[in-house]
Amino acid sequence: MTKPVRNPTEPLRTRHVFLDTEVYRRAGFNISNTPFALLATQIKDGRVILHVTDITLAEIQRQLKEAAQAAAAEAKRLTRDFNRIAQLTGEDNVTVRDVDGPALGERAWAGFIDALVKRLRSQTVPALEIPARAVFDRYFAGTPPFDRRGSKEFPDAFVVEALVRYCNNNDVSMYVVSGDAALRRAAAECDALLPLERIEDILAAATAEAGGDLEAIADDIFAAPGFDDQLTAAIQADLDFVDFTYYGSLSDVSILGGELDEVISVDGYDVAAFDDTKIGLILQANTILTVRLHYVDETELRDKDDDIIPTESETSVHTHARLKVYVSIDLRTLRFMETELLTRDLIVE
């Protein structure tokens, strides 16, 4: 395996951080996962202050409730699919507790807010109070986030204006983290705002001034006996939590699961945490996976009780996947202490 290269980073330029709705959505709204847990540590230590706007909260509330209701509906669909398959074996139908989607959404939202306030100690910046004139001036001028034809990024524009005013009123600057390129362009137009794409960029910057030669430590870890085996085990352990989406020529496909065939390389890494006893790395692993599919073969017809029906079959496909993996490593033994596969969505073709 070629030597992984640490992704370039610089120390934190400000401790004020805003995370866009897209960041929370990318995490599946699970703000107890490893990146958010590491961010909470930085917040607890006083190195980071997390900001959120009222518009962002409203967007998260709507999307989280929609996701909860979609998950409840998907659970019902999977039960029906399972029972349809079970009929072929003569087994009895299974029953699954009916999930109240709206009630689940309300509970999920309450839990999200509780974690946001208590663990991440978020501070709210009001954006709904921004005068519309300030945003429409940007819209008619065609400046980001309105720099693309047909763009209607009004919520983002109100958010950016609110963050700029907060920074100017408090004489601070602020990171704006988003996978949305339009929002990052809008932030880049403002002297007080510093656009970044990933929450991992904040974590890497927060550890950039940590003591010790971090690259030398990482090199020792990658060269240690058993590193490859530990990484393979870490990825395989969490593959059941990945949501695979199939795009291809097969019909009515259900994903049965995935297995790791090979870790081709570790192409890069970020240092997400560091102290005297352990180091946390976010690795970019280049892998090959085998994904098992259940599908309806409409070319093979079968007679069942005088009805002609398609045949249900299974197959496997190999897919190339670039995975992000968090590993916490004991500096004394160079053994993995904690691992989490951060990639949660993969496309299979």
**pLDDT, tens only, 222-238:** 999 999 999 999 999 99
Radius of gyration in angstroms for the set of CA atoms belonging to the chain, rounded to a whole number: 24
The whole-number pLDDT of residue 76 equals: 78
Mean pLDDT of the 338-347 span: 88
Tokens of 14: 């400000």
Q: Is the pLDDT of residue 247 over 80?
A: yes
Q: Is the pLDDT of residue 146 over 80?
A: no
- Cβ atoms of 39 and 116 closer than 8 Å: no
Q: CATH 3.40.50.1010 spans which residues of the chain? A: 12-206
C-alpha dihedral sign at 139, 141, 144, 149 = positive
148 confidence band (pLDDT: 50, 70, 90):
low
Percent of the chain with pLDDT over 90: 44
The whole-number pLDDT of residue 172 equals: 85
The CATH code that applies to domain 12-206 is 3.40.50.1010
CA 314 to chain centroid: 30
The whole-number pLDDT of residue 39 equals: 94
The whole-number pLDDT of residue 134 equals: 66
42-46, 61-65, 157-161 — most confident range: 61-65
The whole-number pLDDT of residue 169 equals: 93
How many C-beta atoms lie closer than 10 Å to residue 246's C-beta? 16
More confident residue, 272 or 89: 272
User: Which residues have CB under 8 Å from 297's CB, separation 6+?
Assistant: 251, 310, 311, 312, 313
User: Which residues have CB under 8 Å from 205's CB, separation 6+?
Assistant: 9, 10, 11, 12, 13
Q: Is the pLDDT of residue 303 over 80?
A: no
Mean pLDDT of the 151-164 span: 82
The whole-number pLDDT of residue 310 equals: 67
DSSP one-letter code for 33: S
DSSP one-letter code for 153: -
- Cβ atoms of 48 and 206 closer than 8 Å: yes
pTM: 0.69
- Give residue-wise pLDDT tens across range 163-184: 999 999 988 889 999 998 989 9
Percentages helix, strand, coil for the chain (3-state, rounded to 5) are: 40, 30, 30
254 confidence band (pLDDT: 50, 70, 90):
confident
Q: Is the pLDDT of residue 302 over 70?
A: no
The whole-number pLDDT of residue 20 equals: 95
Mean of all residue pLDDT scores within the chain:
85
The whole-number pLDDT of residue 278 equals: 86
- Give residue-wise pLDDT tens across range 186-206: 899 989 999 999 999 999 888
